[in-house]
Structure 1
């Protein structure tokens, strides 16, 4: 179905309640639905927003269009969790119901301040001629989760940017308040991270584009994030149109990270530790990752598992996308590692010990964790969500010998998913070393943590419900454990 602009931007109040209930039922009963990851109750879910800790809980807001699998007029919905795993839904949070956001409440961030949670987002305003004005808005949420919007924008677009000026990250650093914004320069049509500074959250001064060196970062940077991981400044961002000679990627748009030695926000200077940005995820479907520094001293990240300008088989069921699990960030040897948070272990049950079995499970179900330690010096294929003869499956092709690498192949797992961008992803490994895999499957979502999170590969796949076999293609030397996973939603 082709959605017209009029349909996409229809006011929420003009939709009837029964339509929404029908859409919710359709999403809930889908055989592809996730059950221990955040997913849309109906319609489309995209960027994670406002990831934060406030009033004794972790909070997460989500870009949402509840009336279909399309990017219509966006709102924020709200989840909270005591442990970053067990999320409960708190309902709508920011609706596009003011002049500042009459065409959508776009992405943003959150920061605790004076007992309130400040929610900063881009108000997508459209005038009568459909000209876009991106307003940067700071709303407040109190301890009862009541949200109050302001009457005016905190930051107006400067003359030197195009209409693409969005996704504010609000945070405090060295006694001052800062906002990072994704921006496109009006003259050069190049992507940048624009920095604003304030002493009081009222008056904002533009410090200019963050200096990222001589290489252009494509035509637009979305979702810029700065976190400090083991005292290193780490930029996480989505450079659309990035030249692949700068950093190679296969997805339509990449989600990158860049570790720095130092960052001076007042002078808009970034001193990189790496020569170039690197892929945050080595799979097929991660974008718009949002991270924050939590009070417990850790940096946590969560990602949209979906991509702009792409479609997925569940579009036919009127819902789209989901989120990754939350990952704890760490830097080892100048590389960003991502780890499952400890609380994910609380979902495990029905443990099965594994030791060189060729068939791991004939009927593993659609919610499980599989942890494997594969010996060096061998090669083979692990089939997930497979039919009986292994001809239709999600394939993890591994080599732990001299030509060490891991290839994920979703070509035969079910309906094709954005085939223009390939059906395989390959990760180079160190030769002649053991390989550790921690694999999470939840409905149509798979997350593979490789060598303690040195790499993570995230993807959607759409296998028939009857395909639940897990097996190697031949005898393999390994140990492991398999768990079923409880639902959270």
Structure 2
């Protein structure tokens, strides 16, 4: 369906209840729908928002346009969890229903303050001449999940930034509230981070200034900035659109990067002794808009939109698009950021139906289906191919081409099924330690694959759209390897 601007931005009450039910049925019955990851009940899902812990539960909101697989007028949908794995849908939380968010309740964050949760987000407003005015807005959510918006914006973008000024992360330090935003400078149309401060939260906001992160090139826009403390190391996660690939290598249409530093000085404001080089947060094809926060015990968690701006996917034809990654626990050790599945992911395993293998296996499982976890250790100094979601002829599927002698892992989705974003390549190449064994923990969910390499030293996430009858997992030549495959329970 080709959407006109008017259709994409008409109010939700222009759609009938039956229309929404039909869309939800279509999404639910799509064979390529994921089963143990968060997904839209209908329409489009994008950025995770408001990731937080409040009132004894984990809260995660996400951007939603429920009426089709297009970027229409956005709202926030609300989910809660007791374990960061099983999520319960609480429905619409922030609707685009005021002057200040009339054309979309855009991305933002949440923070527990007292006995309420404060939501801070960008309101997208368009004038009759289609001029965009971004407002930074606030709302309170009580323990019953009721949301009350503040009557007036917290602040608007100053003239030295263009209309691209959004995605506030609310932080608190030494009795002060801070808002970290992504922005585009009016001068030169280049990307930057901007920091604001208030002691009163609901009012009194003023600009501290642009954050010096030690990088001269941040593309033409910074989106979705997130600061977290990871085991005493300052970590800045962000999406620099239009980044020069000579500055940092990436293949996706837009990258999701991170920097680490000794600390984040919010008064300067600057990262203190930051990395000289940005690093891809995910080495795969489809991760963007990652949101991270520190839990009350200090542990850092992150979750991502598995989808990309300006990219279409085969499920668009069934009027739903995109999913949310599993939550990852972040750690910093030996000078590197690690991402690992949260402990409760192991509860999804059908342990009594596990397939274990060792020695020099070829066929691991002929009918693994497309809902499983595979842990495998491939011994050093070997070259070969691991087929996932493959057909009987072993010609179609996702291929992991490994070389533990020279230190390379290639993820190839060219023959998986329906193509995706081929202009940006069908393979991703990871550098791994040479002459060492390779550990992989891999999760498959019908059209989503998440690959954790060497205990989370690297992560690669991808969408794939295979024939759902293809379920073979096999090495294409005898390989010294040990591992276990578990079918996974749906959430």
**TM-score, structure 1 as length reference:** 0.99
2:430 counterpart of 1:432: no
The answer to whether residue 36 in structure 2 is matched with residue 32 in structure 1 is: no
Partner Cα separation in structure 2 for residue 296 and residue 468 of structure 1: 40
In 2, the alpha carbon distance for the partners of 1:18 and 1:377 equals 59
**Shift in Å, 1:174:** 2.7
Secondary structure of the structure 2 residue equivalent to 1:177: strand
Q: Distance in 2 between matches of 1:443 and 1:253?
A: 25
Which residues of structure 2 form unaligned runs of 5+?
Answer: none
Between 1:345-354 and 1:42-51, the stretch displaced more is 345-354
How many angstroms does 1:199 deviate by?
A: 1.2
Which residue of the partner structure matches residue 149 of structure 2?
149
8 Å CA contact 2:191–2:221 kept in 1: the answer is yes
2:472 aligned with 1:469, yes or no? Answer: yes
Cα distance, 1:295 vs. partner?
A: 1.2
1:26, 1:318 within 8 Å by CA — same for their partners in 2? yes
1:396-435, aligned counterparts within 5 Å?
396-401=400-405, 403-435=406-438
Q: What does residue 213 of structure 1 align with?
A: 214
Distance in structure 2 (CA, Å) of the matches to 1:468 and 1:65: 32
Aligned partners of 1:288 and 1:335: how far apart in 2?
A: 21
Instruction: Evaluate the alpha carbon distance shift between residue 214 and residue 83 of structure 1 in structure 2; reply closer, same or farther with a 3 A threshold.
Output: closer
Partner of 1:224: 225
Superposed, which structure 2 residues align to 1:60-99 within 5 Å? 60-99=60-99
Instruction: Tell me, in whole angstroms, the C-alpha distance in 2 between the residues paired with 1:141 and 1:321.
Output: 27
C-alpha distance 214-477 of structure 1, shift in aligned 2 (>3 A): closer
For the residues of structure 2 that align with 1:364 and 1:280, how far apart are their CA atoms? 29
Q: Distance in 2 between the 1:313 and 1:268 partners?
A: 43
Task: Find out whether 1:362 has 2:366 as its counterpart.
Answer: yes
| Equivalent residue runs for 1:87-166 within 5 Å | 87-166=87-166
- CA separation in 1, counterparts of 2:34 and 2:50? 22
1:184-195 equivalent positions in 2, closer than 5 A: 184-195=184-195
Q: Using the alignment, how far apart are the partners of 1:346 and 1:272 within structure 2?
A: 40
Q: Report if aligned partners of 1:258, 1:272 keep a CA contact under 8 Å in 2.
A: no
User: Residues 297-446 of structure 1 correspond to what in structure 2 (within 5 A)?
Assistant: 297-349=298-350, 350-355=353-358, 356-401=360-405, 403-446=406-449
1:175 Cα deviation after fit: 2.5
Matches of 2:370 and 2:470, distance apart in 1: 9
Residue 214 of structure 1, CA deviation: 5.0
Note if 1:454 corresponds to 2:480. Answer: no
Distance in 2, Cα, partners of 1:175 & 1:337:
31
Say if 1:215 and 1:259 are closer, same or farther in 2 by CA, change over 3 A: same
Contact 1:273 1:334 in 2 (8 A): no
Change in 2 beyond 3 A, CA 1:272/1:69: farther
- CA–CA separation in structure 1 for the residues paired with 2:173 and 2:248: 29
Shift of 1:213: 2.7
Deviations 1:295-338 (A, max 9, x none): 13210000000000011111111110001100000011111100
Q: How does 1:175-254 map to 2 (within 5 A)?
A: 175-201=175-201, 202-254=203-255
State how far apart, in whole Å, the 1-side matches of 2:169 and 2:213 are. Answer: 18
| Rounded Cα–Cα distance in structure 1 between residues aligned with 2:114 and 2:132 | 33
* CA root-mean-square deviation: 0.8
The structure-2 alpha-carbon separation of the partners of 1:272 and 1:71, relative to structure 1 and needing over 3 Å to count, comes to farther
* Residues paired across the two proteins, number: 487
SS at match of 2:394: coil
Deviations along 1:69-103, whole A, 9 cap, x unmatched?
A: 00000000000000100101011000001111000
Instruction: Report Cα offsets for 1:40-73 as digits up to 9, x if no partner.
Output: 1000000000000000000000000000000000
Structure 1 residue 240: deviation in Å?
0.3
Secondary structure at 1:336 match in 2: strand
Report if aligned partners of 1:197, 1:266 keep a CA contact under 8 Å in 2.
Answer: no
Cα distance in 2 for partners of 1:333, 1:191 equals: 31
Aligned to 1:292: 293
Secondary structure, counterpart of 2:263 in structure 1 = strand
TM-score (norm 2): 0.98
Runs of 4+ in 1 over 6 A off after TM superposition: none
**Alignment correspondent of 1:18:** 18
Q: Give the Å deviation of 1:34.
A: 0.4
**What SS class does the counterpart of residue 20 from structure 1 fall into?**
helix
Distance 2:64 2:58 in 1: 19
